[in-house]
Amino acid sequence: MYRRILIAVENSTADRTILDHVEELARLTGASLLLVHVADGWAARHFDNLNLRESEEMKVDRAYLAELQQELTGKGFAVETRLAAGDPADEIIRVAGDEKVDMIAMSTHGHRFLSDLIHGATADKVRHLVKVPVLLLRAKD
């Protein structure tokens, strides 16, 4: 059913919700995991076109991905990581296509009205523009 699951992580406490759920799903299906974090600060958004060095944000995010990879590998999962830079929705969509994943898993924050227009834009754009299933779980408080 699922051979390769992309898990979008934010480097926040919301990640635990989606990771815990996908661990069980991957165990049942034997899927490998692709952890993706999109750095979206100013330096990250202009990293390639201005030929910048990695910002402190990007270094912290890369270390976070390595920590998660080690944790999940220790539990027996095949795990790869990608640190992307730019607009989160665009980068998740790009990586999903490049890596030919079977599913995208993300956490949401359950915002309402105006806040959802700002914070819900990534999940909304991803779910409308990809051709694979998207699992969205509301982050635990």
35-87, pLDDT tens digit by residue?
Answer: 999 987 655 555 555 555 566 787 899 999 999 999 999 999 999 999 998 88
Total domains in the chain come to 1
Residue 11 CA neighbour count, 13 Å, CB half: 18
Tell me how far apart the alpha carbons of residues 80 and 65 are, in angstroms, rounded to a whole number. Answer: 9
Each residue's pLDDT tens digit, 6-23: 999 999 888 999 999 999
pLDDT higher at 123 or 45: 123
Q: What is the CATH number of the domain that holds 80?
A: 3.40.50.620
**99 neighbors 71 (Cβ within 8 angstroms):** no
**89 neighbors 125 (Cβ within 8 angstroms):** yes
Q: How many residues does the chain have?
A: 141
No. of helices (H) and no. of strands (E), the chain: 6, 5
The domain in which residue 51 lies consists of: 4-138
